[in-house]
Amino acid sequence: MAAGILIERHFDPNQENLMQSSRSESSTDSILPFLQIISAIDAESNASQQQQQLQTTDSSENPTNSYYPHPGEYPGIALVTPPLDGNNYHSWSRSMRRALSSKNKFKFVNGSIQAPQETDPNFDSWETCNTMIISWITRLLTQQIAQNIVYIEVAQEL
Domain ranges of the chain: 5-56, 59-157
DSSP state of 72: T
Residues in the chain: 158
- What does residue 100 show for φ and ψ, rounded to 5 degrees? -70, -35
Q: Between the CA of residue 23 and those of 1, 8, 11, 36, what are the distances in Å?
A: 16, 8, 17, 20
Rounded CA-CA distance 7/19 in Å is 10
Q: What is the mean pLDDT of residues 27-47?
A: 62
Q: Which is it for the CA torsion 56, 57, 60, 64, positive or negative?
A: negative
| Predicted model pTM | 0.60
69 falls in which pLDDT band (50, 70, 90)? confident
Phi, psi dihedrals of residue 5, rounded to the nearest 5°: -105, 130
Confidence class of residue 21 from pLDDT cuts 50, 70 and 90?
Answer: very low
Question: Which whole number is the average pLDDT over 69-96?
Answer: 87
- Predicted confidence at residue 92, as pLDDT, reads 93
> 131-149 pLDDT, tens per residue?
999 999 999 999 999 999 8
Q: Nearest Cα to 115, choosing from 131, 138, 101?
A: 131
Higher-pLDDT residue of 153 and 34 is 153
Instruction: Indicate the SS3 state at residue 121.
Output: coil
> According to the model, what pLDDT value does residue 60 have?
65
pLDDT tens string 39-58: 666 666 655 555 554 444 56
> Residue 131's pLDDT is what?
92
Q: What is the pLDDT of residue 43?
A: 64
